[in-house]
C-alpha cells in the first residue's frame, strides 16, 4: 500500500532522489529489526549497538548514490550487498553454535533467512553485468516484479520468526522441566538428613518401652531444635524454588555471617554424625562472605551430607 499509494505522492512532493532513499532505508531497518530478534533469541540480550549503527552508514551511502546521480545498476548493487549481508548474518547467528537439542529447528529457521541471499546475489550480479538500466516507474512490470519478490521474502522471514518463537517456547519448557527435577532432588536430599535424624532420635531416646519421658527433657529439646531447623530449611527451599522458577528475580549477593551459616548446617547433621561416632567441629573466625545465602547453605549442606555418608564410623 505504501509503495503504490504514498510513494508516488512523495515523489512529486520531495523529489525522486529522496523517494529512492526513504523506502530502501526502511527496508534495511526492517532487516536490522529481524537480525535483532534473532540475536535476542540466540544470545538472550540485545544486538550490539555497532550493528544498529550500520543503518546510518546505509542511509549515508544510498543517499550519496541517489543524490550523486548514480545509475540504477549501482544503487541495486549497493542495496543488494547490504541486504544480502543482513540475510547472511541472521542465518549464521542461528546456524552456528546452537544447542544440540535445538540444532535442527535452528538450521531450518536459518535456511529461511539464507534463502534470501541468492536473490540478492543474483540481482547484484545482474546489475553488474547488464548495461545501464533506466529508473523504472512504480507501476512498470519490472518494479512490480521486484515488489512481488520482496513480499515473498517477507513471508519467508515471517516463517523464520514463527519458528524462532516455537523454538523459544520449547526451550523454556525444557528448562522449566529441568528446574522442577532439580528442585525435587534438592528437597528430597535436604529433608532426608534432618527428618531421618529426628526419627532415629525418637526411636533411640523416646520410643523404647518403659522410657520415663519426664526424665527426657534434654532429648525432647534436641528433637524440637531439629524440627525447628527442618522448618527453617523448608522455608529456605521454598525461597530458592521461587527464585529458580522466576517468581523472585531479586537474588542478589549479600554479606553472610560465615560462622552462623556453618553452625546451622552442622546442627542439621549433628544427629547423623553422632550415630556414626563422628565429631563435627568448627573454629569460629568471625568472618563474613559476599554470597547468596540460600545457595551457599545448599552447597555446605551437600558437602556435609556426602562427607558423613562416605566416612566410616
pLDDT at 130: 76
Task: Give the relative orientation of helices 258-268 and 141-201 as an angle to the nearest 10 degrees.
Answer: 60
Cα–Cα dist 309/307, whole Å: 6
Is the distance from CB of 272 to CB of 196 less than 8 angstroms? yes
Lowest mean pLDDT among 54-58, 77-81, 132-136: 132-136
* Residue 51 scores a pLDDT above 60: yes
Cα–Cα dist 144/45, whole Å: 38
Cα–Cα dist 59/22, whole Å: 8
CB under 8 A, 24+ apart: contacts of 87-90 = 87/31, 87/113, 87/114, 87/116, 87/117, 87/120, 88/113, 88/114, 88/117, 89/35, 89/51, 90/31, 90/34, 90/35, 90/38, 90/160
* Run of H or E residues at 247: none
pLDDT greater at residue 117 or residue 219: 117
Cα–Cα dist 195/67, whole Å: 81
pLDDT at 247: 45
Percent of the chain with pLDDT over 90: 15
* Angle 294-263-226 from CA coordinates, rounded to 5°: 85
* Angle 50-53-58 from CA coordinates, rounded to 5°: 130
Report how far Cα 120 is from the mean position of its chain's Cα atoms: 32
pLDDT in tens, 167-185: 777 777 777 777 777 777 7
pLDDT greater at residue 48 or residue 153: 48
Is the distance from CB of 51 to CB of 102 less than 8 angstroms? no
Amino acid at each position: 500500500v505504501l509503495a503504490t499509494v504514498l510513494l508516488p505522492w512523495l515523489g512529486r512532493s520531495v523529489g525522486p532522489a529522496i523517494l529512492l532513499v526513504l523506502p530502501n532505508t526502511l527496508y534495511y531497518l526492517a532487516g536490522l529489526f529481524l537480525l535483532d530478534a534473532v540475536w535476542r533469541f540466540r544470545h538472550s540480550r540485545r544486538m550490539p549497538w555497532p550493528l544498529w549503527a550500520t543503518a546510518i552508514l546505509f542511509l549515508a551511502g544510498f543517499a550519496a548514490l541517489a543524490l550523486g546521480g548514480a545509475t540504477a545498476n549501482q544503487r541495486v548493487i549497493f542495496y543488494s550487498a547490504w541486504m544480502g549481508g543482513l540475510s547472511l548474518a541472521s542465518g549464521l547467528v542461528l546456524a552456528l553454535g546452537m544447542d544440540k537439542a535445538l540444532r535442527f529447528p535452528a538450521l531450518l529457521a536459518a535456511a529461511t533467512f539464507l534463502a534470501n541471499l541468492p536473490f540478492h546475489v543474483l540481482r547484484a550480479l545482474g546489475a553488474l553485468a547488464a548495461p545501464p538500466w533506466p529508473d523504472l516507474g512504480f507501476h512498470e512490470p519490472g518494479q512490480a516484479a521486484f515488489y512481488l519478490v520482496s513480499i515473498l521474502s517477507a513471508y519467508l522471514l515471517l516463517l523464520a520468526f514463527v519458528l524462532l518463537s516455537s523454538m523459544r517456547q520449547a526451550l523454556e519448557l525444557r528448562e522449566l522441566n529441568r528446574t522442577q527435577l532439580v528442585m525435587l532432588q534438592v528437597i528430597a536430599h535436604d529433608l532426608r538428613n534432618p527428618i531421618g535424624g529426628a526419627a532415629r532420635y525418637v526411636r533411640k531416646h523416646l520410643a523404647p518401652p518403659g522410657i520415663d519421658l519426664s526424665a527426657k527433657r534434654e532429648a525432647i529439646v534436641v528433637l524440637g531444635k531439629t524440627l525447628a531447623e527442618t522448618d527453617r530449611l523448608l522455608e529456605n527451599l521454598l525461597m530458592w524454588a521461587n527464585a529458580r522458577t522466576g517468581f523472585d528475580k531479586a537474588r542478589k549477593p549479600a554479606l553472610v555471617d560465615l560462622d552462623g551459616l556453618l553452625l546451622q548446617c552442622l546442627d542439621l547433621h549433628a544427629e547423623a554424625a553422632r550415630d556414626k561416632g563422628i565429631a563435627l567441629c568448627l573454629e569460629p573466625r568471625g568472618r563474613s562472605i559476599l554470597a547468596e545465602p540460600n545457595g551457599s547453605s545448599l552447597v555446605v549442606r551437600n558437602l556435609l551430607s556426602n562427607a558423613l555418608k562416605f566416612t566410616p564410623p
